[in-house]
Amino acid sequence: MNTATAAKSLSALGHDARLSVFRLLIKAGDDGLNVGAIGRHLEIPASTLAHHLSALVDAGLVRQGRKGREIYNFANYDAMSDLMDYLTDQCCVGVGEA
């Protein structure tokens, strides 16, 4: 992961609705959720939800796949882990004098 990718991911998560969607998808696990279920859980209209999901997919934090005729959304755990690793990679190593 690089700074630009991390910034894009953090930007996508920087909206309360998108953060709520991502956290819900983490709770859903490998089963994922379709748009209707996400909307019902979070009380977000489908048109607004589509916009937020698009931003999360574009940032690589959510992936989508078909189950029958429906499109399901899944948290991308690898991307989440990479972001967390990037944020904590240099934890407590010190910075020295500039």
Report residue 90's pLDDT band, with 50, 70 and 90 as the boundaries: confident
Domains of the chain: 3-82 (1.10.10.10)
d(CA 32, CA 65): 9
pLDDT at 94 over 90: no
pLDDT digit string (tens) for 34-76? 999 999 999 999 889 999 999 999 999 999 999 899 999 999 9
pLDDT at 77 over 80: yes
- In the chain, the amino acid numbered 9 is S
- Burial code (b: 16+ CB inside 10 Å, e: under 16) for 13-48 equals beeeebebbbebbeebeeebbebeebbeeeebeeee
pTM of the model: 0.91
Interval 70-85 mean pLDDT: 97
The alpha-carbon radius of gyration of the chain (Å, integer) is 15
